[in-house]
């Protein structure tokens, strides 16, 4: 297994950050296998979705509807509503496993690999890419 950790800065706003180019570069030329992507944070997740056509903003809006940034959360430190960031990985998991064929991601036409981060208190995120040869 070959593995690499990359660091991303997500900033002070909620974000859906497209990682697809980095993921494609990591698997390029590796042959057939599986790519496992993992975010070792309690307040971030990974989603496979279309970006650039509004779906990324729709995901953030849906998460806001499901997990409002208010004072209902028992986990209370950081910015208002921070507790919702700790619940989000139950809905948007911190991992994804993707097929790789002939050194290329086997994604659908409109699919992208995205980091989802609602935590405005932590702008630095690590993401581990691990390739398991077939």
In the chain, where are the structural domains located? 2-133
pLDDT of residue 122: 86
Q: Specify the CATH class of 2-133 in words.
A: mainly beta
Sign of the C-alpha dihedral, residues 65, 70, 75, 79? positive
* Distance from C-alpha of 49 to C-alpha of 68, rounded to nearest angstrom: 22
Beta carbons within 8 Å of 124's beta carbon, 6+ residues apart: 7, 8, 9, 10
Q: What is the pLDDT of residue 132?
A: 95
* pLDDT of amino acid 48: 97
Residues of the chain below pLDDT 70: 78
pTM of the predicted structure, to 2 decimals: 0.92
pLDDT the model gives residue 117: 94
In sequence order, what are the residues at sequence separation of 6 or more whose Cβ sits closer than 8 angstroms to the Cβ of residue 84? Answer: 67, 68, 69, 73, 118
């Amino acid at each position: 297994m070959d593995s690499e950790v990359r660091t991303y800065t997500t900033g002070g706003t909620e974000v859906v950050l497209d990682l697809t180019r980095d993921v494609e570069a990591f698997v390029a030329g590796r042959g057939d296998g599986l790519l496992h992507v993992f975010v070792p944070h309690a307040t971030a997740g990974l989603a496979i979705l279309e970006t650039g056509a509004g779906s990324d903003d729709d995901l953030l809006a849906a998460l806001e509807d499901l997990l409002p940034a208010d004072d209902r959360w028992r986990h209370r430190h950081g910015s208002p509503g921070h507790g919702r960031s700790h619940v989000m990985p139950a809905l948007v998991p911190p991992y994804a496993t993707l097929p790789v064929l002939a050194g290329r991601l086997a994604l659908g036409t409109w699919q992208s690999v995205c980091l989802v981060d609602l935590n405005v208190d932590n702008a630095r995120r690590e993401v581990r890419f691990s390739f398991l040869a077939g």
